[in-house]
């Protein structure tokens, strides 16, 4: 770090632009009333970081408790609230908005050569709605928490739980509107605001992924809103919808819940896939392999994701025939994901590959997503799902997708576009070290859980039979490594805000319109509307990387 000053003032080093979106206006009001998509993206980034910390603390306490079979730390009642808080906060208030609302907001206009999103005021409104929902959820956590699990299964949630299910459901309900508005905004923006020459098949694949995600936002989110609304109705007014004691049907809730929540899995992973396409091409300096296959596989995933919800219910008592249909459709959704993995791998072929931190995250993503995806086959397959459903195998599988996939991609994307967002570079050595720590910690945490699951340990257990202890201790040890891995970037990224070397417009020598403007960009993004004359990822015409190792 002592070399910072010399790099900062090295002859020929890029100078910080005089005016940019960060220093154009000052003061709290200028942030809270901003209509700039870049600033709104940062507001989201701050909000989801707070929520990630809350969900992460809950996870840490869970892992501590599971060090001992009888529970090392808390009572079962508290443990139940911890995993519910962890799930609700991480899914609805971190993962769903994570990449779309932060990187998506920041990058979509920049990548398509637009001045802003189509509806800037709506964009700010959606952040306020989201922030309100977050505050409500934090209030619920602070005043005693909720113990239904993130799945809110009825009739436990509607009539039996003694915790504040109503407000928690309300928080999810409200948060959904921010997803719908963001999705709508992105769809219109991508349709109507592309720069001259930016045809659909010249779009970066991140945009295709965000487009597919936005479709799911708009089409699926209303269903979770309806579901949460009905749940609140039954809980408060005892209208018989889900509880058989009132004449309702408990499986109806599961159908409605998963009709949103399975597509929501793809809300969380599709944007990550978009990020990975950008990173792989930038650090192998090569055109993406099979552009149209990756683009259309995003849309295929978005469509099929609406037809597979029943695979969460193979042992719920739904009919054997429903099980067969949902099983075959679940296998179908695996194919486009496999196609993406193969295309990314093929992109590396004959590339000129370097290993800066974002690339390490991208390669880590491919590996973990591959394992996460393949273990999904165990759960799409009926006979094995009967045994694995509701066990730690499921927990491991979706954490490989959600943390190994979505969070790795968010970290990779954040490191890749950090110089664009802040105009500064972070110490790459530290960043690569953190990426490695996260990768090791992640695998140590979640791999043992696959084995625990096949051994039959059910999820959501505050206590467990002693024979499962060794693997649980291993998993908890991994979680502490993972936690350290997440703390390191916070430190050097904050450090870089003031002390990082000036990045210049395009430190990686990457393609894409966002790299043609200054860093940090002007409030207006571009001095002059860019005109696009080539396909995406045409690295033959890319500038040399100028990033200096710190």
Query: Within positions 145 to 184, which residues make up the interface with other proteins, using CB under 8 A?
Result: 147, 149, 151, 153, 155-156, 160-161
472 within 8 A of 446, measured Cβ to Cβ? no
Told to check if 291 binds other proteins by CB under 8 A, we report yes
The site map against other proteins for 224-253 (x = CB under 8 A) is -------------------xxx----xx--
Residue closer to other proteins by CB (options 35, 366) is 366
- Subset of 412-471 contacting other proteins (CB under 8 A): 451, 454-456, 458-465, 467, 470-471
Q: Is residue 203 classed as helix, strand or coil in its secondary structure?
A: coil
Told to check if 316 binds other proteins by CB under 8 A, we report yes
- Subset of 464-503 contacting other proteins (CB under 8 A): 464-465, 467, 470-471
Backbone angles phi, psi at 24, to 5 degrees: -60, -40
Residue with tokens 């396409």: 277
Told to check if 339 binds other proteins by CB under 8 A, we report yes
Backbone angles phi, psi at 525, to 5 degrees: 75, -60
- Subset of 66-95 contacting other proteins (CB under 8 A): 76-77, 80
CB of 483 to other proteins, least distance (A): 24
424 within 8 A of 503, measured Cβ to Cβ? yes
* Alpha-carbon distances of 100 from 103, 106, 194, 364, rounded to whole Å: 6, 9, 18, 21
Which of 331, 433, 486, 495 contacts other proteins by CB under 8 A?
Answer: 331
- Tokens, residue 256: 């409605």
- Tokens, residue 190: 């991508």
> How many angstroms separate the CA atoms of 483 and 316, rounded?
35
Told to check if 328 binds other proteins by CB under 8 A, we report yes
- Subset of 369-388 contacting other proteins (CB under 8 A): 370-371, 374-375, 377-378, 380-384, 386-387
With CB under 8 A as the rule, give the number of residues binding other proteins.
90
Told to check if 288 binds other proteins by CB under 8 A, we report yes
Residue 429, number of CB atoms within 10 A of its CB: 13
Residue closer to other proteins by CB (options 4, 316) is 316
Q: Compute the C-alpha angle 323/368/41, nearest 5°.
A: 95
- Subset of 348-367 contacting other proteins (CB under 8 A): 348-355, 363, 366-367
CB of 278 to other proteins, least distance (A): 15
213 within 8 A of 271, measured Cβ to Cβ? yes
Residue closer to other proteins by CB (options 236, 470) is 470
Residue closer to other proteins by CB (options 58, 117) is 58
> How many angstroms separate the CA atoms of 119 and 13, rounded?
37
148 within 8 A of 168, measured Cβ to Cβ? yes
Residue closer to other proteins by CB (options 18, 70) is 70
| Sign of the torsion angle spanned by Cα atoms 89, 47, 181, 410 | negative
């Amino acid at each position: 770090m002592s070399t910072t000053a010399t790099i900062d003032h090295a002859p020929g080093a890029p100078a910080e632009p005089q005016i940019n979106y960060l220093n154009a206006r000052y003061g709290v009001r200028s942030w809270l009333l901003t209509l700039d998509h870049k600033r709104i993206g940062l507001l989201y980034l701050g909000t989801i970081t707070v929520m990630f910390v809350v969900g992460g603390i809950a996870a840490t306490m869970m892992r501590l408790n599971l060090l001992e079979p009888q529970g090392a730390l808390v009572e079962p009642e508290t443990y139940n609230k911890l995993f519910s808080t962890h799930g609700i906060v991480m899914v609805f208030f971190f993962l769903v908005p994570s990449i779309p609302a932060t990187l998506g907001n920041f990058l979509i206009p920049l990548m398509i050569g637009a001045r802003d999103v189509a509806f800037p005021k709506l964009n700010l409104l959606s952040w306020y709605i989201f922030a309100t929902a977050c505050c409500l959820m934090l209030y619920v956590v602070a005043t005693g928490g909720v113990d239904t699990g993130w799945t809110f299964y009825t009739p436990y949630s509607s009539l039996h739980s003694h915790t504040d299910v109503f407000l928690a459901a309300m928080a999810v309900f409200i948060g959904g509107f921010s997803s719908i508005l963001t999705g709508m905004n992105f769809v219109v923006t991508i349709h109507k605001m592309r720069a001259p020459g930016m045809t659909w098949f010249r779009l970066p694949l991140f945009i295709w992924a965000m487009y597919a995600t936005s479709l799911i936002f708009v089409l699926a989110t209303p269903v979770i809103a309806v579901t949460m609304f009905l749940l609140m109705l039954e809980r408060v007014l005892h209208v018989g919808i889900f509880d058989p004691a009132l004449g309702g049907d408990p499986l109806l809730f599961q159908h409605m819940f998963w009709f949103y929540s399975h597509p929501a899995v793809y809300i969380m992973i599709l944007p990550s896939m978009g990020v990975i396409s950008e990173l792989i091409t930038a650090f192998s300096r090569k055109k993406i392999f099979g552009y149209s296959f990756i683009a259309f596989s995003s849309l295929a995933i978005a469509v099929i994701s609406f037809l597979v919800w029943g695979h969460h219910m193979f042992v719920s008592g739904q009919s054997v025939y429903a099980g067969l249909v949902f099983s075959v459709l679940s296998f179908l959704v695996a194919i486009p994901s496999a196609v993406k993995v193969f295309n990314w791998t093929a992109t590396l072929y004959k590339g000129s590959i370097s290993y800066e931190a974002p690339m390490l995250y991208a390669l880590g993503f491919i590996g973990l997503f591959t394992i996460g995806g393949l273990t999904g086959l165990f759960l799409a397959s009926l006979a094995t799902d009967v045994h694995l459903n509701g066990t730690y195998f499921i927990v491991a599988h979706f954490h490989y997708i959600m943390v190994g996939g979505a969070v790795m991609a968010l970290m990779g994307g954040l490191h890749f576009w950090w110089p664009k967002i802040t105009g500064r570079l972070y110490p790459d050595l530290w960043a690569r070290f953190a990426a490695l720590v996260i990768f090791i910690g992640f695998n140590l945490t979640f791999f043992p859980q696959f084995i625990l699951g096949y051994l039959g340990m059910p999820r959501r257990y505050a206590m467990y039979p002693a024979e499962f202890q060794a693997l649980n201790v291993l998993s908890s040890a991994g979680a502490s490594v993972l936690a350290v891995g997440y703390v390191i970037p916070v430190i050097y990224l904050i450090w870089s805000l003031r002390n990082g070397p000036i990045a210049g417009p395009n430190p990686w020598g990457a393609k894409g319109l966002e790299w043609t403007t200054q860093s940090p960009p002007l409030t207006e993004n571009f001095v002059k509307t860019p005109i696009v004359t080539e396909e995406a990822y045409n690295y033959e015409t890319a500038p040399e990387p100028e990033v200096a190792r710190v």
